[in-house]
Amino acid sequence: MNPPITAQSLFQLVFLFWVIMDSLGTLPIFVSLLKHLEPSKQYRVITRELLIALGLMILFLYFGQTFLKLMQISHATLQITGGAVLFLLAVKMIFSKPSIEQKEKKKIPKDPFIVPLAIPLIAGPGILATITLYAGIENQFTVLLAIIIAWFLSLVVLLLSPFLNTRLGVNGVVAIERLFGYIIVLIATDMAYQGLKASLT
Partner 1 sequence: MTYFFTITLTLFFVMDALGNIPAFLEVLKPYDQKKQIHIALRELGIALLIMFFFHFAGEILLNLLGISPVSVRLAAGITLFLIAIRLIFDNDDRVTRWKEQKPFIVPIATPMIASPSVLAIIMIFAQKIESNLVVLGAIFVAWLASSILFMCAKPIYKLFKDSGLEACQRLMGLIVAMIAIQLFVDGLIGALKS
Tell me how far, at minimum, the Cβ of 128 lies from partner 1, in Å: 7
By beta-carbon proximity to partner 1, the closer residue of 6 and 74 is 74
Tell me how far, at minimum, the Cβ of 63 lies from partner 1, in Å: 13
By beta-carbon proximity to partner 1, the closer residue of 40 and 110 is 110
Backbone dihedral region for residue 72 (phi beyond 0: left; psi -120 to 50: alpha; all else: beta): left
**Contact yes or no for 198/76 (Cβ under 8 A):** yes
Burial of residue 25, with CB atoms counted within 10 A of its CB: 0-12 exposed, 13-18 middle, 19 or more buried: buried
CB crowding 35-46: b at 16 or more within 10 Å, else e: eebeeeebbebb
By beta-carbon proximity to partner 1, the closer residue of 120 and 162 is 120
By beta-carbon proximity to partner 1, the closer residue of 92 and 167 is 92
Q: Which residues contact 64 (CB under 8 A, 6 or more apart)?
A: 128, 131, 132, 135
Tell me how far, at minimum, the Cβ of 73 lies from partner 1, in Å: 5
Residues that bind partner 1 (CB under 8 A): 68, 70-74, 76-78, 80-81, 84-85, 88, 92, 103, 107-109, 114-116, 119-120, 124-125, 128-129, 196, 199-200
